[in-house]
Chains A and B, each alone.
Chain A
Amino acid sequence: AQTVTQSQPEMSVQEAETVTLSCTYDTSESNYYLFWYKQPPSRQMILVIRQEAYKQQNATENRFSVNFQKAAKSFSLKISDSQLGDTAMYFCAFIEIGNQFYFGTGTSLTVIP
């Protein structure tokens, strides 16, 4: 069974606009951690943002923020003021305490000038 689901294989956004990438996950645990990683064409995997499930406050990192809905098991990434350098694959990832990481299948984001 798929533990992490990214339902948008591809998305595009105009430069300077805002875009939201969706992610849902499945778990019976109450304590876990969620992450978004960015993979630009250079193929590096870069950590964008981290969220702890027991914290109700949504994590933010500059132009990147999340909308964490624990009851709905949803963890979306919002990119504000999109820049050309944001063009990349974005992966949602999830870890339960003591267990392995699970990654979604990714969303390819293109920022259009």
Chain B
Amino acid sequence: DADVTQTPRNRITKTGKRIMLECSQTKGHDRMYWYRQDPGLGLQLIYYSFDVKDINKGEISDGYSVSRQAQAKFSLSLESAIPNQTALYFCATSDSLRGQPQHFGDGTRLSIL
């Protein structure tokens, strides 16, 4: 089983719908992150959480919200999806020890029509 699991793997939906992307991890890491990837732009940070009670906005948080339900679970919501939120979304985790790499899920490809 994957250490970082994202569901769903792919999703097509319509403008205005509420969408939730889920992420769970078995690595025991405190830190979790949500990114979106667009062609030519690399990975942009949406939100991050250093523990259950610590949620922080990233560089592109507008239009998104998150919930850290437990150490192992971090979900991303689009309250009212719009077409320019069509992207590949990644969840990542990292250990709190300094300098540790991030470990990624397999991504959710989201298409908003």
Contacts and interface: CB of A to CB of B under 8 A. Distances in A.
A90 to B, nearest CB: 11
Interface residues of B, number: 20
Interface in B89-113: 90, 92, 98-99, 101-104, 106-107, 109
- The size class of the interface chain A forms with chain B is 20 to 34
Given A35-B101, A52-B99, A100 B106 contact: no
A91 B43 contact: yes
A47 B101 contact: yes
B36 to A, nearest CB: 11
Interface in A78-101: 91, 93, 95, 97-98, 100-101
Interface in B69-106: 88, 90, 92, 98-99, 101-104, 106
A50 B101 contact: yes
Interface string B34-60: 000000111101001000000000100
Contact of B42 (A32, A35, A97, A105): A105
A33 B100 CA distance: 8
A39 to B, nearest CB: 8
Given A45-B90, A52-B99, A104 B104 contact: no
Interface of A: 9, 32-33, 35, 42-45, 47, 50, 52, 91, 93, 95, 97-98, 100-101, 103-106
25 contacts: A9-B40, A35-B101, A42-B106, A43-B88, A43-B106, A43-B107, A44-B106, A45-B90, A45-B92, A45-B104, A50-B99, A52-B99, A91-B42, A91-B43, A93-B102, A97-B98, A98-B98, A100-B33, A100-B58, A101-B45, A103-B42, A103-B43, A105-B42, A106-B40, A106-B42
Give the top 10 A-B pairs by smallest Cβ distance, nearest first.
A45-B104, A33-B99, A105-B42, A103-B43, A103-B42, A47-B101, A43-B107, A97-B98, A106-B42, A35-B101
